Structure 1
Amino acid sequence: MGNGRIKKLFTDDIEQVEMLLAHAIPEGISNLAMAAIAIICMFFADWKLALLSLCSLPIGMFAMGMMFKAGMERMNDYYAASAKMNATIIEYINGMEVVKVFGRDGESYQRYEKDIKSYRDFTLEWYKICWPWMALYSAILPCVALVMLPVGTLLVINGSSTLADLVLVFCLSLSVGVPILKALNFAGKFPQLNYKIDEIEKAMDSEPLKTKDNSFIGNSNIVRFEDVRFAYKEQEVLHGVSLELQEGSLTALVGESGSGKSTLAKLLVHYYDINSGKITLGGQDIIDMSIEALNDRISYVSQEQFLFNTTLYENILMGDPKATREQVLEAAEKAQCREFLERLPDGIDTMAGDGGKQISGGERKRISLARAILKNAPVIVLDEATAFIDPENEEKMNAAIAEIIKGKTVFVIAHRLQTVVNADKICVMKDGNIIAADTHENLLESCDEYKKLWNSSEARASWTIGNEVRA
């Protein structure tokens, strides 16, 4: 599901469904009730005049039906155009920095403008199709007097009705046309309501993760992947992976980009359901555990950490909401946060900003590590936690990681092999398979793929602009 559709579904559509259910239906019912009472009174007064006053209803209802038909034929296309416009707006705003840096303001704006105009043109065309019928029923329904007054006058002259009945029915008829018109206007929104509810139900009916409401009953913190296969839609990315993480050990996973390393880490924390095989923690299949029980056992630190727009203190507190302030400060200290927190105006109570943008990327990662330290889970998953940060921050991150992994079962996804040379076991991944697993020294001797990765990592470490090797 794209960003545009998500935004439209959970903001626009839900808000409109609430408006229709909370306001359109009650108001529509009250208008119909008012019209029904007026019609009953009209028939009690004079059934002939009552029929005359209602003769415009069939024409108006026919026009309304034709408008519904014309509108429904293009309803799906209309919402697809709306979702595309929303996606373009979100992409344009999120990519503003890249657009500015590469001088693509005009080009990007033209694409943005094109989708906006496309949505506008589609909407105008839709209204052009529906408008004639809308105008017809809007004009006819309120005009009950066009037929009733002249014909009713003749009936009074001929003695078939009385002037009092004519005046009474005329006054009552004024309470019929406008309420029915309002009710039909609300009825015109019901096709949209049905569409929006269907879309929301599709999202809500998405297949949930396979879990059970069981607590952790395992007998250790050993993690096993047993012949695990996984596919994104139709493309299989893991092909029968088997791996064991010994309790209290540090296991590293290395490989080229796209080999399936991060996918394996996300499967361990049950972001997705595997297609076949089994992942166990302490001998217990993770799908036999509740999400809460699994989360209590595992801390996951990814390469891109998100901070909420609240204080840094509250962001760290997410690791353990029951922790005291002293425990939060201790976790921040262990995560090497003290130095930069002291520079902030409000210290640990400083607002993180939208997405944590009030602090640097390296500082965001240290806050995330503090969160993991506070959680104190027995299994730690570090998915390239030191990626894309400067040497100073990397040094502090490594010190924080050394603190967090003491006595834990640790699973590290590494992009720089130098950071995991002391791991108890290094697993080499290629094309969705683990092709070797051993210590650093043994892999250098026995695994050509690892040797290639190591040489590449060494070359990157010594590279500078102009190909001048650092001293």
Structure 2
Amino acid sequence: MIGMLLRVLGDEYGRPVRRTVALMSAAAAAEGLACALLVPVLRALLGSTPGDAWPWLAAFGAAVAVCAVLRYRGDLTGFRAGTALLRGMYHRLGDHLARLPIGWYSADRVGRLSVLAGRGVLETMGVIAHLLPPFLSACVTPLTIVAVMTAFDWRLGLAALAGAPVVVAVQVWAGRSTAAADAERAERDHEATGRVIEYLRAQPVLRAGGRTAERFRLLDDSLREVERASRRAVRSALPGAVGLAVAVQAVFTALLVLGAHLALGGDVGAAEVVALLVLAARCADPLLSLVDLGGRLRGARAELARLDAVLRTEPLPEPRRPVRPTRHDLEFASVGFRHGERVVFDGVSLTVPEGQRVAVVGPSGAGKSTLLQLLARFYDVDAGAVRVGGVDVRSIGSDELMSRIAIVFQDVYLFDGTVEENVRLGRPEASAAEVRAAAAAAGLDEVVARLPGGWATEVGEGGARLSGGERQRVSIARALLKDAPIVLLDEVTSALDPENEAAVQEGVERLMAGRTVVMVAHRMRTVQRADRVVFLDGGRVVEEGTPADLLRRGGRYAEFQAISQESGLTP
């Protein structure tokens, strides 16, 4: 497990762990050596001259003091390392997640990742501070005592050493017998967490449909499965706990019998046998603690394995020699792309000259949003190439590429902070005057004027304290502040009321001015502002041309617009 922990932490954070392990191991060995001094102490006390025990008692006291200092230093180092590594692990996990392709973030993975990033990281990093000291003590101290016993009497030492494989075998067997039950319990925990989140998020729908009783039943069923899985996990761990206790007691009994035999035969003095049996008894406590430690370590190891799997997921590769494009025209060259088993694009080719506006239209599922995501390199294409300024996006550094692109989505996510902090995400180093100018261009200034805290108003998680139109204005102001030469718009006004749509559209017009724009849109008012329209369907470009030309042709685009007008979706 320590090897996996070091791999997960990486070289930068692995060094403090190695230092902590070495210090804790030294403390455990010192504890075993201190216990070994009980042999001469007891031999002197039980002998004919008890006064000879004083020097040994002084040595025992000094050894205990050294052990206490090492233990204190080891525990302190463990807590400090655990705290530092917890912070470092969050940074490492966050940096890695930021480089993974967007397609990796399925709904199931996001739920599991939220649990892993919270409880999972805390549990795995807590191993260093809370589980590593007793585990090393349970392993190193008994081995040190067995080595001392061997030095005093090789027969008792070898007998004690022979019990080590038995204890290890029982631990391995216990781990294997509980692995399936532990995995099932973890799976049920994840499912129950998902049910709780689903139940809370679905409250408006459930109450409107009068289905709260059914949802309670589903949640209760999930929680009952957690209870059953926990019981099975406890029952599967019980044989291992009993087996370890029996094994330890059997080894101690064997040592007791052997010691009595040697003492009765005159081969070893009674005082030495008593002292050595005291050492053997001292080994029993840490060995028996392996029952509890083993279960907790297996749980932490399971979380560590899941964390390791995430960190070993390959991110999108960065170019070895990044190229900086000098233009901002866009090109799809025979692009093929699959999402899972579904073919999204099959040989799509199109160009967007620098400074032009292209509207992407098509039925749901045609891949319109995916086209924008490929331009921003949220995914890599399976065939062909996506180019910016004639350069394949895979040859452009991620930071360089994103510095040239501003994206405004239909569903805007705002971070839990102030309005100004969310706008500044576009360009954190911008001056206050630049932030205010971007806000005015996006129509956000009038929103800020009526907010009780002005620019310092907290927007809440996801922007929950703002309306949809207000969140969209923040997003446009953020994009304007970024001042990127390429703008990608994904149906930014489709879910807004007429008043907000008009205000947002003014901000969008300012955002698009003089820039290369690709926008996904359905509304005629938005499409008519485009220089060219691309109609996607079936993974291919079906039609392409100016809005007026496509309407005159009476093809798929004209048919699509007619249906939208009849349904009232296109004003």
Q: Per the alignment, do residues 276 and 49 of structure 1 end up closer, same or farther by CA in structure 2, a change over 3 Å counting?
A: closer
Whichever residue aligns with residue 363 of structure 1, its letter is E
The question of whether the paired residues in 2 share the 8 Å contact of 1:335 and 1:397 is answered with: yes
**Residues 221-370 of structure 1 correspond to what in structure 2 (within 5 A)?**
221-370=328-477
**Residues 63-462 of structure 1 correspond to what in structure 2 (within 5 A)?**
63-138=170-245, 141=248, 146=253, 148=255, 152=259, 155-157=262-264, 159-183=266-290, 185-188=292-295, 191-192=298-299, 195-212=302-319, 217-461=324-568
Cα distance between partner residues in 2 of 1:122 and 1:304: 39
State the 1:54 CA deviation: 7.1
Whichever residue aligns with residue 254 of structure 1, its letter is V
Whichever residue aligns with residue 171 of structure 1, its letter is V
Segments of 5+ residues of structure 1 without an aligned counterpart are: 464-469
Aligned match of 1:28: 135
The question of whether the paired residues in 1 share the 8 Å contact of 2:415 and 2:463 is answered with: yes
Q: Per the alignment, do residues 44 and 184 of structure 1 end up closer, same or farther by CA in structure 2, a change over 3 Å counting?
A: farther
Q: Per the alignment, do residues 37 and 63 of structure 1 end up closer, same or farther by CA in structure 2, a change over 3 Å counting?
A: closer
Q: Per the alignment, do residues 372 and 174 of structure 1 end up closer, same or farther by CA in structure 2, a change over 3 Å counting?
A: same
C-alpha RMSD over aligned residues: 2.7
Cα distance between partner residues in 1 of 2:569 and 2:493: 18
State the 1:249 CA deviation: 1.5
The question of whether the paired residues in 2 share the 8 Å contact of 1:248 and 1:410 is answered with: yes
User: Residue 289 of structure 2 aligns to a residue in which SS?
Assistant: helix
The question of whether the paired residues in 1 share the 8 Å contact of 2:241 and 2:291 is answered with: no
User: Residue 451 of structure 1 aligns to a residue in which SS?
Assistant: helix
User: Residue 141 of structure 1 aligns to a residue in which SS?
Assistant: helix
Whichever residue aligns with residue 414 of structure 1, its letter is A
Cα distance between partner residues in 2 of 1:45 and 1:430: 85
Deviation track 1:163-219 (CA, whole Å, cap 9, x = no partner) reads 321331232223211122334654555555554444333322323224325555323
TM-score (normalised: structure 1) = 0.90
Whichever residue aligns with residue 321 of structure 1, its letter is P
State the 1:268 CA deviation: 0.6
The answer to which of 24-33 and 279-288 deviates more is 24-33
Cα distance between partner residues in 1 of 2:450 and 2:215: 38
The answer to which of 353-362 and 32-41 deviates more is 32-41
Segments of 5+ residues of structure 2 without an aligned counterpart are: 1-105
The question of whether the paired residues in 1 share the 8 Å contact of 2:316 and 2:380 is answered with: yes
TM-score (normalised: structure 2) = 0.75
The answer to which of 96-105 and 400-409 deviates more is 96-105
Cα distance between partner residues in 1 of 2:245 and 2:554: 79
**Percent identical residues:** 28
Deviation track 1:375-416 (CA, whole Å, cap 9, x = no partner) reads 000111100011211111101010111111111111110021
Cα distance between partner residues in 1 of 2:120 and 2:392: 38
Q: Tell me which of the two structures has the higher relative contact order, counting C-alpha pairs closer than 8 angstroms and 6 or more residues apart.
A: 1
Whichever residue aligns with residue 449 of structure 2, its letter is E
Whichever residue aligns with residue 278 of structure 1, its letter is A
The question of whether the paired residues in 2 share the 8 Å contact of 1:61 and 1:137 is answered with: no
Q: Per the alignment, do residues 161 and 266 of structure 1 end up closer, same or farther by CA in structure 2, a change over 3 Å counting?
A: same
User: Residue 563 of structure 2 aligns to a residue in which SS?
Assistant: helix
The answer to which of 43-52 and 157-166 deviates more is 43-52
Whichever residue aligns with residue 455 of structure 1, its letter is A
State the 1:247 CA deviation: 1.5
Whichever residue aligns with residue 14 of structure 1, its letter is V
The answer to which of 229-238 and 200-209 deviates more is 200-209
State the 1:280 CA deviation: 1.1
Cα distance between partner residues in 1 of 2:323 and 2:159: 76
The question of whether the paired residues in 2 share the 8 Å contact of 1:29 and 1:183 is answered with: no
Cα distance between partner residues in 2 of 1:174 and 1:324: 71
State the 1:130 CA deviation: 2.4
The question of whether the paired residues in 1 share the 8 Å contact of 2:245 and 2:288 is answered with: yes
The answer to which of 326-335 and 4-13 deviates more is 4-13
Deviation track 1:66-103 (CA, whole Å, cap 9, x = no partner) reads 32221134454444333333332332333333333333
Between the two proteins, the alignment pairs up a number of residues equal to 464
Q: Per the alignment, do residues 423 and 56 of structure 1 end up closer, same or farther by CA in structure 2, a change over 3 Å counting?
A: closer
State the 1:115 CA deviation: 1.7
Aligned match of 2:21: none
Match for residue 125 of structure 2 among 18, 21, 27: 18
Whichever residue aligns with residue 419 of structure 1, its letter is T
- Determine whether 1:4 maps to 2:82: no
Q: Per the alignment, do residues 112 and 462 of structure 1 end up closer, same or farther by CA in structure 2, a change over 3 Å counting?
A: closer
Q: Per the alignment, do residues 454 and 53 of structure 1 end up closer, same or farther by CA in structure 2, a change over 3 Å counting?
A: closer
State the 1:65 CA deviation: 3.4
Whichever residue aligns with residue 435 of structure 1, its letter is V
Cα distance between partner residues in 2 of 1:60 and 1:202: 31
Cα distance between partner residues in 1 of 2:369 and 2:426: 22
The answer to which of 208-217 and 410-419 deviates more is 208-217
State the 1:264 CA deviation: 0.5
Cα distance between partner residues in 2 of 1:311 and 1:154: 80
State the 1:269 CA deviation: 0.7
